[in-house]
Each structure stands twice: as structure tokens, then as C-alpha cells.
């Protein structure tokens, strides 16, 4: 098997705050094969967005390694970074703040091409038209400004901008969370179509488990900067092993009145990721917590290809 | 709540559309345009030069020859008011142009780079703004010597800190927006991002304060001239005319009244336009 | 439940907003009844008019832009649209309370949370200060916050806790009707689950009628008994939870269900509703959904469909309803 498109080893990203070090991403490992989608799930403050931005070098990693096609890109030179920007892109959550209100639709989509200085004017115009068609934006929106458009169309602009330079890898940071359900489905389908047509590799960051199941091949569940569970999508939903993943899954209100809608609620709220203690970070809210959980947790392959970071995992799940 | 599809207008067009509905702002705008025209065409409009003396006709009453009478040197008050328009506007606009430009550059650097650069720059600005504005103006004008140009420098320097602080705050807000991050992700370099994405979105909110600052600067300029540190005789400037008329106020009220009214109307016009602009540019007040 | 007496009856409500060059038809002839102790889910997308209906009930459709052009809203038999502002004020917060999506805007950041609840109680009840404080502390406990936190400020609370405080404040005067506008949308799922569970328990305890405004069918399924689906300012389908979830009939409702990624299915593609909601400034002659509907016929575009009611009370605004093969 060839090298995975993206490999992340022991990645850490800390932020200095007034009250200590904030461990936004703490020792995260994963790989994404070309053409696949990795879903990253977690609640606000779990470090999922920081993870995506660190891989794209929008933030500098504190420690660890990022590999792209087997090559270490953790500290790229300026030239390498420019090249990487062509290969890796991002789609943002908020279709309102992710577009410059003073640039028209075509200007926004054309900007990456202008910055790359590799195309003639006519080429850029043709390519922009083509991209607009690809993402389903009618040509009459060419000179329109973002504030005149609805969220779905704005998100399409963001997608076209990300596609402009023909990237291989796209970090999707909650791209549908701000949209209405019917529009959300349109955008999700568009993203799947694009993946098929262009063999794109996605890292799909979201808090919505039903969306992540629908779109991902593999899933990473994060809690306070750490990976608590990692497995292929179907496997994770079939055999949920980590207590946090279980809680997360059962907390979703299901739009089906015959399903068991007794929401299992977790006690307490997310604790602070500032200078965390060495033990399991979920301990304070975990119904199975015991003394052993004060030890640092190691991520283990409990079932084939199914990794869990919980010392009591086997016990809880009768494995 | 409902997103209506407006007729397609750019941001500027939208602002103008909103502004048109505000009567006060339009009155202000019209006055400003008239004042500016008077300033530009002063030599054509004024029947006499600002320093043509006619000592025989000193303190003349208004007549066909001298529409608003004459002062103690027999200079035509109407002509001096017109010439004064030019000087006063020069001061108002000059101060704001220099003060805002300096504030823009300083504030942008502090805002975009942040960290220590930001800290050092802003602390220096703080020190500047600790000194009362008038005192600062007096000191600068005293050091450089009294003249129109130096008064402009003095006022510009004293307005710089507030302009810098305002633009810095706006830049901080814009810098946190995702489209700036998106620009970095598509390989935009810092100068490109500042010029194309950050500044255009950070400047708009300062237009309002800049407009209002013109009014304040006209007052400051007049004040400096009034205390003898601005425009020097025989140059006609509203503040200087006030100053000259001050001693004669008891017998010749009109010599103080006319320049006073000119200052008041002009400043009021700028404030009305500024107020209107603020309302027009604030999307929350729309719809 | 059917025999419970209605708390609110909305009849043929029309609300318009005026912007400088257009009239926005936000609510177009809504009929809706909420009965005592019942939770009605009002489901729809952004701009469908959900919030406007709640605001109309609360009497806070802002003039001069907003205007109720037609219709009646009866609260316990009294037409509140005809009430004077003074009488309306005594209803608001006392008999009818509202929870907003963003808990931060509902709380005063520089006042202790307990005092804010106490104030709400004192305003509408003729009781002593000490009694009001005690009542406020009880309310905090009711929503699962220890009474010691009475003296803390909003910034010391997390998002979920703040929403609990807002709910405590809304329920402080024991209102007959609670208007909840997306109360859990801004919260994380595990926190949302806590708040939903708490709301469900409170409702059983207090028997308050709730209008639950949401875009999330999952939330509806877990807390409501009745569901109204709203599209472009019209109720397109209304029924019990079972009727809507087991026999969704209106093409829009079907489309909503088709748009949702489901946890227990293995479909590879969602079936989104094509297109977007119509421009609310344009008056549409026929069915407002026709342009996005896969069953639309010429008749749909020409004739505005009336509500069709099945024998067991399931209401559908669609020309196909009740016909063969629908």
C-alpha cells in the first residue's frame, strides 16, 4: 500500500493563556488515505477546529509531525508552504464571516488563481465560470455580493474558492452546521459528488454525529484535545466502546418517535483544557470512573482497526 | 429576520440609498458642498481681497458696497468671511487628513501585527492622549511658531491617538474573521491580505468619526487662531476674525457674530452628515 | 388531550414587514391552537415565520416595520391583539413567557442571576422581597442549579447553565404559555440533552403549555405532542406526533425527513428538497411549495391549496391530500 495522503503523528497544539497552557490538541495520531473522508467529531472546545487549522499551517504546531504523501511538512519553507496551499484547502463553517463582504462572487473565486500567478486573465475567467457551474451557482451571480445571497449559496462560493487551485485535500470545518436542513442536504450531496469526481480527500470536522456518519469512512471522536475513539464509521456506530462516544451518541435527539428517545444525559459539563491533569480527561463526567482513570490513558486497538483510549474499555463492554 | 432580496446595490450604493432618506444628513451634505464651493472659488466670489484696507470706511454699516459692513481697518467683512471659509476648511480638512492618515498607518501596524509591537505603539499613543488636546496644540504651536501650517500639525498630532485606536480596534475585529484566514489558506501574503481584506473592511466604520472630526478640527483650528497660535493677521480665518472682533464686541457685535455663525453652521453640517452616515452604514438600523 | 381547553388560538394571522422598497409577507394566514399542558412543535426553516408567530403572540411585532395586518390571537378566550399595551405588559412575562435562542442576550451581564429571577417574580407578584428571593432560589433548584449560585453573575455560568437560568426566569411566574425559540440550538449535544430532559420533566411538573420553535425534528420527537410544519409563512401540515412522524403527507414534510442524515441507515445519498424558499416579497398565487415539489401540477401553480383535514384531525395544505394515490 502506498503512503497515506495525510499522516499526523503525536501532533500537539498548545495556546498560552493567562491561566496556563491550553491543550487544544494533545498528542493526536491518525492517517487519511487518498480519496477517503475522516470525520472528526466532538463538542465545542474539543480542539477539532484547531486540529484542522494546524494541519493546514494556519496555526503552527507546538510539537509532533505532519506528513503529506509521506513527506514531512511540519516546518515547511516559504516555497513549500506555497505549494502546499495549492494542495490543501479549507471550507469554513460560517458562510457569513468566511467571505469578504467587499468582494463579488467572481472576485472571491478568482482570488486564489490571481495569487498563484499561473494563469492568464481569460483562463481565470473561464475557470471561474466552470467552478461556479460545478458548485451550482448560476452565472447571473457573477457580480453579486455575498450579503445579497442566502447561506447555502454563500457556502457554495466558499467551496468553489477552495476548489480553485485543484487541491487534493480539504479540511471541512463544520461546513453545514449553519445551514437549514434542506440546504444542508444539498451541500452534503455536492461535497460527495465533488469527492467522487475529483478523488478528493476530506477531513470533515463537525459536532453532528448523524452528518459525520453519512459522509465519513473513518471517525475520530475527540474530547478536550485528545482522541478518545477511532474506528471505521460503521464499526464505530455498531460497536461504540468509549463511554464518551456512547454518551454523545445517545444524546442526539433522533427524529423517529419509535426509536428509544430516552436521552442518556451526562452529568456536568466539559472541564477546562487548561493545564489538564495527566489522567483521563473525561473522568469527571464518566459514570464508570475509578482510581485507575487517574493514570495517563493509552490509546489501544481493542477490536481490529478500532482504537479506544480508556483503561476500563474491555470491562465496560464485556470484551 | 427575513432576508429580502434587495435590488442589487453595492455597499456604497446602499449607504447612499439609506442616507438619502435622512433629511438632516442631506441638509448637512448640501451645506458642506456649498461651503466647499465657496472655499474653492473664494477669489471669484469675494468682492474684495481679504486685506484690502479702507480706513476711511472703518466700521461701515452694511451697504450695497459692503454687504456686511467693514471692520476696524475698513476691510470688507463679507469678503473676509469668504476668504476665511477657505482657511477654516483648509484647517479642518488638513488636520483630519494628516491626523487620520497617521492614525491609519499606526493603528494598522499595531492591529495587524499585535503582540509587542501593538503594546509599544499603543502605550505611546496612550501617553499622547494623556495630555489635554488644547495643551498639546499650544505646546506644539509654541515650539514650531504660530502659523496656519503649524496649527494643522498640532491638531493632527493630537487627533492621531484616537484615530489610531479606532482603526486598531476595527482591524482586530476584521482580523479574526474567517475570510482573512481563508485568504491565508489560498496563499495570500501579509501585504496583500492587509490591503485587500483587512483595511477595506476596517476603514468603513472610521468614515463616520472622520466626518465628525472635521467639525471638531475646524473648532480647534478656530480656537488656536483665536488665541493667536493659528492663522496670523492679516489672513482671514473665522477663529482669527473672532479674536479680532473680541475687543470690539460691545460696540460692534456683528464682527463676532458673523464668523461665529459660520463656524457653527459648518460644524453642525459636518455633525449632521456624520450622524446620518453612521445610521446609514449601520445594518442593524436598516430594514 | 383533545378535550383540554385551548390556551392560545391563532386565527388567520397575517404579519408583514416593510422594508424601504418591498413588503415582506412573513406570516400568511396561520391558524394554530395550543391546548393546556400541550407542547406544540413549530418546525420550519430560517425565514419561514416561526419566530414572527411567537413575537405576535407576545405582542412584540416591532412597529413601524412589522405589522399584524389581519387575524386574531385569543389567549384564554381574550383577543390580545385588541388589548392595550398596559394590559399586554401584565400578560407578558406573567402569563406568557419567552425563551430566546441565545441565552446571553436574555441575561443582564452586570446583575446577579438570582436577582434577575427575583426581579421577574417581584414585578408580577405582590409578595415580599424575602419571599421573592426564596422563590427565585427554588426556581434555580428546579432547573438543576444549586441555590448557592444565586449570587453569581452570568459570565460565571456556562452556556447550558445560562439557558437553565433563562428557563428559570421564564417559568418564575408560573406562566400558562411558554414560547421557546430554538432554546437548545446554541448548545452542545450533551448539554442539549440535559436541557431537553429538564424541560420535559418541568413540563410534567408544571403543566405549562409550550410552543417549541425549532428546525430540529429530533428535538420535536423528543419533547412535543403536536407538530405544525411551517413553510413560507403558512402551516403546511399539522397533526399529532404520530401523524407527522409516521405518516408525513405534505411533500415539504417528506422532503424535510429526506434531507436528514439518519444514524441507522446506510443510504449513500440524501434526498434534499431542490431549490430554496420563495422570496417573501413576492405574492404567489398557487401553492408556495410548487416550485420545489416533485408532484407539482399546473393546478398547484394556479390554485392556492386549502387545508385538508382527515377524519382523525391530521391537517395538510396540499391539493393531493385526500385524493387517490396520495
A100 at interface of B, judged by CB pairs closer than 8 A: yes
What are the strands, taking DSSP E only, across chain C? 6-19, 22-35, 39-43, 66-75, 78-79, 96-99, 177-181, 209-214, 226-231, 234-240, 308-309, 315-316
Average pLDDT of every residue of chain A: 90
DSSP A75: S
Domain limits at A171? 6-243
Chain centre to alpha carbon of residue A185: 18
Within 8 A by CB and 6+ apart from C235, the residues are C30, C31, C32, C228, C229, C307, C315, C317
Residue A121 domain-assigned (yes or no):
yes
Q: What is the largest CA-CA distance in chain A?
A: 67
- The CATH number of whichever domain residue A48 belongs to comes to 3.40.50.300
Q: Per the CB < 8 Å rule, is C273 touching A185?
A: yes
Residue A285 domain-assigned (yes or no):
no
Residue in B8, B10, B186 closest to A115 by CB: B186
C189 at interface of A, judged by CB pairs closer than 8 A: yes
Residue A275 domain-assigned (yes or no):
no
Q: Per the CB < 8 Å rule, is B178 touching A53?
A: no
Complex ipTM, two decimals? 0.84
Closest B-chain CA to C49: B2
CB distance C110 to C188 below 8 Å: no
C283 at interface of B, judged by CB pairs closer than 8 A: no
CA dihedral A96, A99, A100, A106 (to 10 degrees): -130
Residue A149 domain-assigned (yes or no):
yes
Burial class of C158 by CB neighbour count within 10 A (0 to 12, 13 to 18, 19+) = middle
Q: What tens digit of pLDDT does each residue of B167-202 get?
A: 999 888 888 888 999 999 998 888 888 888 888 888
What are the φ and ψ backbone dihedral angles of A65, each rounded to 5 degrees?
Answer: -130, 145
Three-class secondary structure of residue B109 per DSSP: helix
Q: Tell me how close the Cα of A104 comes to any Cα of chain C, in angstroms.
A: 21
Q: What is the pLDDT along chain B (287 residues), one digit of tens a residue?
A: 333 344 445 667 777 888 888 889 999 999 999 999 999 998 888 888 888 887 888 888 888 888 888 888 888 888 999 999 998 898 889 988 899 889 988 998 888 888 888 999 999 999 988 888 788 878 887 888 888 888 888 889 888 998 899 999 988 888 888 899 999 999 888 888 888 888 888 887 788 888 888 888 888 888 888 888 888 888 888 888 888 888 888 888 888 899 999 999 999 999 999 888 888 876 555 44
Which residues of chain C lie closer than 8 angstroms to A269, CB-CB? 158, 160-161, 191
**For residue B7, what pLDDT is reported?**
45
pTM of the model: 0.83
Closest B-chain CA to A144: B8
Residue A277 domain-assigned (yes or no):
no
CA distance C268 to B187: 34
Which among B5, B178, B184, B202 is the top mutation candidate for probing chain A, defined by the most A β-carbons within 10 Å of its own β-carbon?
Answer: B178
What are the φ and ψ backbone dihedral angles of C246, each rounded to 5 degrees?
Answer: -90, -35
CA distance A14 to A8: 16
Question: For A179-183, A238-242, C37-41, which range has the lowest pLDDT when averaged over its residues?
Answer: A179-183
Domain count, chain A: 1
Amino acid at each position: 500500500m502506498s503512503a497515506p495522503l495525510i499522516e499526523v503523528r503525536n501532533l500537539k497544539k498548545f495556546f498560552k493563556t493567562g491561566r496556563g497552557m491550553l491543550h487544544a490538541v494533545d498528542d493526536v495520531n491518525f492517517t487519511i488515505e487518498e480519496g477517503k473522508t475522516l470525520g472528526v467529531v466532538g463538542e465545542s472546545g474539543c480542539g477539532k477546529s484547531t486540529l484542522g487549522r494546524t494541519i493546514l499551517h494556519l496555526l503552527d504546531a507546538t510539537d509532533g509531525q505532519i506528513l503529506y504523501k509521506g513527506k514531512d511538512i511540519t516546518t515547511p519553507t516559504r516555497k513549500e508552504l506555497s505549494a502546499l496551499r495549492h494542495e490543501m484547502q479549507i471550507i469554513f463553517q460560517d458562510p457569513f464571516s468566511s467571505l469578504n463582504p467587499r468582494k463579488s462572487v467572481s472576485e472571491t473565486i478568482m482570488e486564489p488563481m490571481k495569487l498563484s500567478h499561473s494563469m492568464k486573465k481569460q483562463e481565470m475567467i473561464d475557470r471561474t465560470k466552470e467552478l461556479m457551474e460545478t458548485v451550482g451557482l448560476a452565472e447571473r451571480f457573477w457580480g453579486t455580493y455575498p450579503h445579497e445571497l442566502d447561506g447555502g449559496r454563500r457556502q457554495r462560493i466558499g467551496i468553489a474558492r477552495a476548489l480553485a487551485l485543484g487541491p487534493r485535500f480539504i479540511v471541512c470545518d463544520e461546513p453545514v452546521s449553519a445551514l437549514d436542513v434542506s440546504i444542508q442536504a444539498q451541500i452534503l450531496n455536492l461535497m460527495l459528488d465533488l469527492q467522487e469526481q475529483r478523488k478528493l480527500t476530506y477531513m470533515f470536522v463537525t459536532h453532528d454525529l448523524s452528518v459525520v456518519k453519512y459522509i465519513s469512512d473513518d471517525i475520530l471522536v475527540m474530547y478536550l484535545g485528545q482522541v478518545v475513539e477511532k474506528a471505521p464509521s460503521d464499526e464505530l456506530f455498531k460497536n461504540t466502546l468509549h463511554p464518551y462516544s456512547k454518551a454523545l451518541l445517545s444524546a442526539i435527539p433522533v427524529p423517529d418517535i419509535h426509536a428509544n428517545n430516552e436521552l442518556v444525559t451526562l452529568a456536568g459539563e466539559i472541564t477546562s483544557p487548561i493545564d489538564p491533569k495527566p489522567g483521563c480527561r473525561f473522568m469527571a463526567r464518566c459514570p464508570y470512573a475509578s482510581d485507575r482513570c487517574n493514570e495517563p490513558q493509552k490509546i489501544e486497538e481493542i477490536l481490529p482497526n478500532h482504537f479506544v483510549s480508556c483503561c476500563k474499555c474491555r470491562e465496560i463492554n464485556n470484551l | 429576520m427575513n432576508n429580502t432580496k434587495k435590488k442589487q446595490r453595492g455597499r456604497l450604493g446602499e449607504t447612499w440609498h439609506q442616507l438619502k432618506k435622512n433629511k438632516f444628513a442631506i441638509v448637512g451634505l448640501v451645506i458642506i458642498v456649498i461651503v466647499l464651493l465657496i472655499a474653492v472659488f473664494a477669489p471669484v466670489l469675494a468682492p474684495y481681497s481679504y486685506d484690502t484696507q479702507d480706513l476711511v470706511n472703518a466700521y461701515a454699516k452694511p451697504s450695497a458696497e459692503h454687504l456686511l459692513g467693514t471692520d476696524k481697518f475698513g476691510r470688507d467683512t463679507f469678503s473676509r468671511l469668504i476668504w476665511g471659509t477657505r482657511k477654516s476648511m483648509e484647517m479642518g480638512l488638513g488636520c483630519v487628513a494628516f491626523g487620520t492618515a497617521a492614525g491609519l498607518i499606526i493603528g494598522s501596524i499595531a492591529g495587524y501585527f499585535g503582540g509587542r509591537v501593538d503594546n509599544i505603539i499603543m502605550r505611546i499613543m496612550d501617553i499622547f492622549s494623556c495630555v489635554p488636546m488644547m495643551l498639546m496644540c499650544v505646546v506644539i504651536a509654541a515650539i514650531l511658531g504660530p502659523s496656519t501650517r503649524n496649527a494643522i500639525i498640532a491638531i493632527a498630532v493630537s487627533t492621531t491617538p484616537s484615530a489610531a485606536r479606532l482603526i486598531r480596534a476595527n482591524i482586530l475585529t476584521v482580523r479574526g474573521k474567517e475570510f482573512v484566514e481563508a485568504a491565508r489558506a489560498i496563499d495570500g501574503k501579509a501585504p496583500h491580505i492587509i490591503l485587500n481584506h483587512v483595511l477595506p473592511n476596517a476603514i468603513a466604520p472610521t468614515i463616520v468619526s472622520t466626518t465628525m472630526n472635521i467639525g471638531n478640527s475646524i473648532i480647534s483650528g478656530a480656537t488656536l487662531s483665536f488665541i493667536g497660535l493659528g492663522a496670523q493677521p492679516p489672513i482671514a480665518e473665522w477663529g482669527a476674525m473672532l479674536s479680532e472682533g473680541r475687543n470690539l464686541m460691545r460696540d460692534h457685535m456683528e464682527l463676532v457674530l458673523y464668523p461665529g455663525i459660520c463656524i457653527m453652521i459648518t460644524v453642525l453640517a459636518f455633525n449632521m452628515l456624520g450622524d446620518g452616515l453612521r445610521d446609514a452604514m449601520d445594518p442593524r438600523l436598516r430594514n | 388531550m383533545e378535550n383540554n381547553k385551548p390556551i392560545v388560538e391563532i386565527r388567520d394571522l397575517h404579519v408583514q414587514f416593510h422594508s424601504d422598497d418591498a413588503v415582506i409577507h412573513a406570516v400568511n394566514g396561520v391558524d394554530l391552537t395550543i391546548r393546556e399542558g400541550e407542547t406544540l412543535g413549530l418546525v420550519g426553516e430560517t425565514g419561514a415565520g416561526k419566530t414572527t408567530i411567537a413575537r405576535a403572540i407576545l405582542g412584540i411585532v416591532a412597529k413601524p416595520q412589522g405589522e399584524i395586518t389581519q387575524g386574531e390571537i385569543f389567549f384564554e378566550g381574550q383577543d390580545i391583539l385588541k388589548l392595550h399595551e398596559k394590559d399586554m405588559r401584565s400578560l407578558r412575562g406573567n402569563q406568557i413567557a419567552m425563551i430566546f435562542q441565545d441565552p446571553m442576550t436574555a441575561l443582564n451581564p452586570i446583575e446577579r442571576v438570582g436577582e434577575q429571577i427575583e426581579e421577574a417574580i417581584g414585578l408580577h407578584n405582590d409578595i415580599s422581597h424575602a419571599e421573592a428571593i426564596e422563590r427565585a432560589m427554588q426556581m434555580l433548584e428546579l432547573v438543576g442549579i444549586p441555590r448557592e449560585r444565586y449570587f453569581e453573575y452570568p459570565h460565571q455560568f456556562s452556556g447550558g447553565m445560562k439557558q437553565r437560568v433563562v428557563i428559570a426566569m421564564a417559568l418564575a411566574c408560573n406562566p400558562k404559555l411558554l414560547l421557546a425559540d430554538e432554546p437548545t440550538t446554541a448548545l452542545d449535544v450533551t448539554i442539549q440533552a440535559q436541557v431537553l430532559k429538564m424541560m420535559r420533566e418541568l413540563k410534567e411538573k408544571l403543566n405549562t403549555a409550550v410552543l417549541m420553535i425549532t428546525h430540529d425534528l429530533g428535538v420535536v420527537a423528543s419533547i412535543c405532542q403536536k407538530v405544525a410544519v411551517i413553510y413560507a409563512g403558512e402551516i403546511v401540515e399539522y397533526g399529532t406526533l404520530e401523524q407527522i412522524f409516521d405518516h408525513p403527507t405534505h411533500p415539504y414534510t417528506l422532503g424535510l425527513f429526506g434531507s436528514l442524515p439518519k444514524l441507522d441507515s446506510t443510504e449513500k445519498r440524501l434526498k434534499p428538497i431542490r431549490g430554496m424558499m420563495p422570496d417573501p416579497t413576492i405574492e404567489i398565487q398557487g401553492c408556495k411549495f410548487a416550485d420545489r415539489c416533485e408532484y407539482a401540477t399546473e393546478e398547484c401553480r394556479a390554485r392556492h391549496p386549502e387545508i385538508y383535514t382527515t377524519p382523525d384531525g391530521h391537517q395538510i395544505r396540499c391539493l393531493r391530500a385526500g385524493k387517490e394515490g396520495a
